[in-house]
């Protein structure tokens, strides 16, 4: 996605930064990772390596060491994680905690041991306290306990921030810690068992339309609010931080646009052509009541601002899903 941030003459030419740098992107074949790799290539990176889980189980320390021996990176962008919606987090909290903690902390430590010049950690908005003031500001990250349905995941990811700050203090190790809000866009995960709210609603509405259903049932009350970031914008934010920033204080990546789940559902129903009734299963949890980020630190630190209008991003996501149905696992 070409935009003002990429051509901004106030910053050095990105090709000078990425030239001759060897970059590892864990999770680089996934939803966000594919967009990050594409952004890196557009900005001049020539040596980008994407380790696959079938070859390197990043929960295993020996596999991490072998991966770093094979790729010899100058910079690591750590995107690999176990993620899912409220249902998946409630059913397998131990897997979310253990998998994310082991992948992140061991990889970070081995990168420091091997003098990898820079480590980019990707955290999660789920790390914020359940009752954090709106908009979420990075300085409030430790002001309380995360919302319980995804606290194990959020806390496991937040340990990378603790590690980054500890290694900076003791070893002056260079790392960046980013907190992206919920991402969406083409190539998202549309599996009903593990998808987040936007792909889950898109699939539910499209399939209900095709069956001729006159009603869909949505989890919760619809009153909860969320902020979403188009995946290509998120990828650009990560790459800009890698190029332009060198500080381990947490930084939000978001759009600054907040929408209720009820309004989101109505918008998706309209875009997918579902004209039936929307019913709410109020026995299911809403999750955190509100999520909206203060995104000023990213703008000030490395010039990032999201540029994709929310409904345009939703249209692109719906269109991709409709066109790619045959290739999506059911």
Do the strands 258-260 and 225-230 form a parallel or antiparallel pair, or are they unpaired? antiparallel
Contact 303, 5 (CB under 8 A): yes
- Residue 57, pLDDT > 70, answer yes
> Over the Cα atoms of the chain, what is R_g?
19
Assess whether pLDDT exceeds 80 at residue 85: no
pTM of the predicted model over 0.85? yes
Residue 164 is assigned to a structural domain of this protein? yes
Mean pLDDT of the chain: 93
Chain-centroid distance, C-alpha 43: 20
Q: Is the pLDDT of residue 7 over 50?
A: no
The answer to the question of residue 266 being in a domain is: yes
Tell me whether residue 287 is in a domain. Answer: yes
Q: Is position 102 within any domain?
A: yes
Among 56, 128, 153, 177, the active-site one is 153
Q: Is residue 52 part of a domain?
A: yes
Distance CA 96, CA 153 (A): 5
Q: Which domain holds residue 130?
A: 15-325
Report d(CA 13, CA 108) in Å as an integer: 28
| pLDDT at residue 4 is higher than 60 | no
Q: Give the pairing of strands 215-219 and 118-122.
A: unpaired
Mean pLDDT of 228-248: 97
Residue 63 falls inside a structural domain: yes
pLDDT at 3: 44
Q: Tell whether the model's pLDDT for residue 211 goes beyond 50.
A: yes
In a domain, 241, yes or no: yes
Residue 2 lies in a domain: no
Coil vs helix vs strand at 60: coil
Query: How far apart are alpha carbons 38 and 122 in whole angstroms?
Result: 17
Query: Domain tally for the chain?
Result: 1
Q: Is 171 a catalytic residue?
A: no
CATH number of the CATH domain containing 264: 3.40.50.720
């Amino acid at each position: 996605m070409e935009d003002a941030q990429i051509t901004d003459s106030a910053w050095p030419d990105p090709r000078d930064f990425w030239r001759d740098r060897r970059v590892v992107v864990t999770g680089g074949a996934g939803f966000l990772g594919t967009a990050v790799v594409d952004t890196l290539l557009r900005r001049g990176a020539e040596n980008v390596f994407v380790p696959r889980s079938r070859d390197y189980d990043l929960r295993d320390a020996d596999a991490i060491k072998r991966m770093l021996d094979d790729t010899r990176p100058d910079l690591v962008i750590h995107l690999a994680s176990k993620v899912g919606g409220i249902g998946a987090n409630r059913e397998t909290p131990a897997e979310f905690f253990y998998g994310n903690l082991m992948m992140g902390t061991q990889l970070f430590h081995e990168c420091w041991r091997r003098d990898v010049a820079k480590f980019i950690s990707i955290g999660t908005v789920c790390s914020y306290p359940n009752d954090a003031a709106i908009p979420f500001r990075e300085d409030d990250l430790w002001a309380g306990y995360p919302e319980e349905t995804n606290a194990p995941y959020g806390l496991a990811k937040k340990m990378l921030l603790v590690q980054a700050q500890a290694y900076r203090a003791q070893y002056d190790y260079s790392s960046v810690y980013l907190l992206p809000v919920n991402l969406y866009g083409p190539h998202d995960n549309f599996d009903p068992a593990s998808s987040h709210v936007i792909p889950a609603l898109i699939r539910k509405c499209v399939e209900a339309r095709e069956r001729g259903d006159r009603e869909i049932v949505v989890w919760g009350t619809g009153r909860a609010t969320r902020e979403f970031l188009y995946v290509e914008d998120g990828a650009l934010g990560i790459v800009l931080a890698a190029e332009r920033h060198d500080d381990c204080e947490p930084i939000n990546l978001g759009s600054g646009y907040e929408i209720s789940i009820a309004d989101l559902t109505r918008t998706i129903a309209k875009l997918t052509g579902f004209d039936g009734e929307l019913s709410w299963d109020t026995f299911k949890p809403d999750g955190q009541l509100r999520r909206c980020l203060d995104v000023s630190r990213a703008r000030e630190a490395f010039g990032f601002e999201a540029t994709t209008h929310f409904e345009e991003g939703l249209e692109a996501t719906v269109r991709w899903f409709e066109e790619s149905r045959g290739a999506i696992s059911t």
